[in-house]
Every structure is written in C-alpha cells, then in structure tokens.
C-alpha cells in the first residue's frame, strides 16, 4: 500500500512537471493538480489542505496571490457541490470536466469579488474627494460632511435611523446636541444629493454611487 502511494506520488510529480501540463492554462493546471493529488489521497488526514496549498503554490508565483484563499473559502461554502463534482469526475473516468467546471466557477466568483472590492475602494476615494468639493462649495455643511465621513470609515455599512443618529455612537457625537428638525434637514439634504439612500422603514445608508449622479 505504501509502495503504491509512493509510486503514484512520483508519477504525479513527473506529470506536474511535464510539458503537457505546464502548457495548460494556469488555473486549469492548478485545478488538475488539486483533483489528482486528492485522488491519490496519500495521507490519512489533511489531504484537502495540501491540495489547496498546491493550488496556491502554482498560482502565487504568477502574481495570483489572493485567489487561492478566496477559492479555499469557496470550497468550504459549497462543500456539498465540491464532493459532488469530485464524485462525478471519478465516475466520468478520464473526463475531468465536472471538477474543472466547479473549480473555475469558484475562480470566476473569486475574481468578481476582488473586482467589486477594488471598485468599492475606488468609490470610497472618489466619494471623499467629492465631499471635499461639496464642503468647499458650501453645498453640504461641516456636520453633514463629518457624518458621511463616519459612514465611509464604518466598514460594516449598517443602515441607521434618525433615532440612531441622535442616540448611538459615533453619530450621536455629532447629533446629540442638535434638534430633531436639524437632523431631519441634514438627512433631507443628503438624500436630495443622493449621498444617502433610504428604505421604506426609514433606514438610511451611504450611497457610494451618489457622486456619479
């Protein structure tokens, strides 16, 4: 049994370094390495971690640093689909399409998440610059600017109500000594400028796309 595993691992390493596999697209190569290593299953425990590490070792030298971790999280979130794709591939004999399709869906989702994060980061920078212009132009007050800045600094993006504005930190630092009418006026101005959005329940949220309007 041990001799068989040692032989399979030697063949696996030779195959990993063969011209045929090296010439494959990098993401396909990483997915195939993950699948065939897991198929050999050389250890009693930890094979999944090693398979994901193999993916990372293949992808990171090409500058793909964040996808491996996100792909690992994708496997955990879709663990049933992962095992189903693995089983379907085994049953398909030499056709690795089921596992490749599952893996590449995870890659696409990971890249899309990265794109969205980068876009959000750029929007935050653009929003800060836009607020500076609005304050300079006296289109919004310093207090309104400070409120929006607090919301920009809050990564949770949790909606807030008028009550929260006047009673909960950190916004209450700006509004606890301000009348409700003034607070409503601030919110109205920011809504009209599309810097905030409001839902039917009276909850307000920062609108990062507001400066595009």
Res 1: pLDDT: 76
As a whole number, mean pLDDT of residues 190-202 equals 94
Local structure of 205: helix, strand or coil: strand
Res 210: pLDDT: 65
> What's 109-126 look like in SS3?
HHHHHHHHHHHHHHHHHH
**Spatial distance between the Cα atoms of 38 and 42, rounded to a whole number of angstroms:** 8
Query: What tens digit of pLDDT does each residue of 52-90 get?
Result: 999 999 999 999 989 999 999 999 999 999 999 999 999
As a whole number, mean pLDDT of residues 180-195 equals 95
Is the peptide bond between 170 and the residue preceding it cis, with omega within 30 degrees of 0? yes
Res 93: pLDDT: 84
**Model confidence at 213: pLDDT above 80:** no
Query: What tens digit of pLDDT does each residue of 153-164 get?
Result: 987 788 999 999
**Model confidence at 208: pLDDT above 90:** no
CB neighbours (10 Å) of residue 93?
Answer: 7
Q: The pTM is what?
A: 0.75
> Contact at 8 Å (CB) between 100 and 34?
no
Domains in the chain, start-ordered, CATH in brackets? 2-116 (1.10.3290.10), 140-212 (1.10.10.10)
As a whole number, mean pLDDT of residues 166-188 equals 93
Question: Could you write out the DSSP letters of every residue in 134-164?
Answer: HHHTTSS-HHHHHHHHHHHH-TT---B-HHH
pLDDT-based confidence at residue 211 (cuts at 50, 70, 90): low
Query: What tens digit of pLDDT does each residue of 20-31 get?
Result: 899 999 999 999
> Contact at 8 Å (CB) between 21 and 32?
yes
Supply 81's token pair: 């689909």
As a whole number, mean pLDDT of residues 38-48 equals 92
CB neighbours (10 Å) of residue 78?
Answer: 16
**Spatial distance between the Cα atoms of 70 and 77, rounded to a whole number of angstroms:** 10
Supply 137's token pair: 């132009």
Sign of CA dihedral 90, 94, 95, 96: positive
Res 111: pLDDT: 95
Sign of CA dihedral 60, 46, 96, 112: negative
**Spatial distance between the Cα atoms of 46 and 63, rounded to a whole number of angstroms:** 26
> Contact at 8 Å (CB) between 138 and 118?
no
Res 199: pLDDT: 94
Query: What tens digit of pLDDT does each residue of 96-145 get?
Result: 999 999 999 999 999 999 999 999 899 999 999 999 999 999 999 999 99
């Amino acid at each position: 049994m041990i001799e068989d595993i040692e032989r399979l691992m030697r063949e696996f390493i030779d195959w990993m370094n063969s011209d045929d596999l090296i010439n494959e697209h990098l993401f396909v190569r990483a997915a195939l390495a993950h699948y065939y290593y897991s198929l050999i299953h050389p250890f009693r425990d930890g094979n999944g971690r090693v398979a994901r590490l193999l993916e990372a070792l293949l992808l990171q030298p090409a500058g793909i640093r964040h996808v491996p971790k996100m792909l690992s999280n994708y496997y955990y979130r879709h663990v049933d689909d992962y095992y189903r794709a693995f089983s379907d591939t085994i049953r398909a004999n030499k056709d690795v399409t089921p596992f490749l399709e599952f893996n590449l869906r995870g890659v696409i989702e990971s890249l899309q998440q990265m794109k969205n994060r980068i876009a959000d980061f750029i929007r935050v920078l653009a929003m800060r610059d836009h607020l500076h212009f609005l304050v300079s132009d006296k289109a919004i007050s310093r207090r309104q600017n400070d409120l929006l800045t607090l919301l920009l600094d809050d990564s949770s993006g949790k909606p807030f109500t008028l009550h929260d504005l006047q009673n909960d930190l950190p916004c209450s630092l700006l509004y606890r000594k301000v009348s409700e009418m003034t607070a409503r006026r601030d919110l109205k101005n920011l809504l009209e400028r599309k810097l905030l959005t409001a839902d039917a329940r009276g909850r307000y949220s920062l609108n990062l796309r507001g400066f595009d309007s």
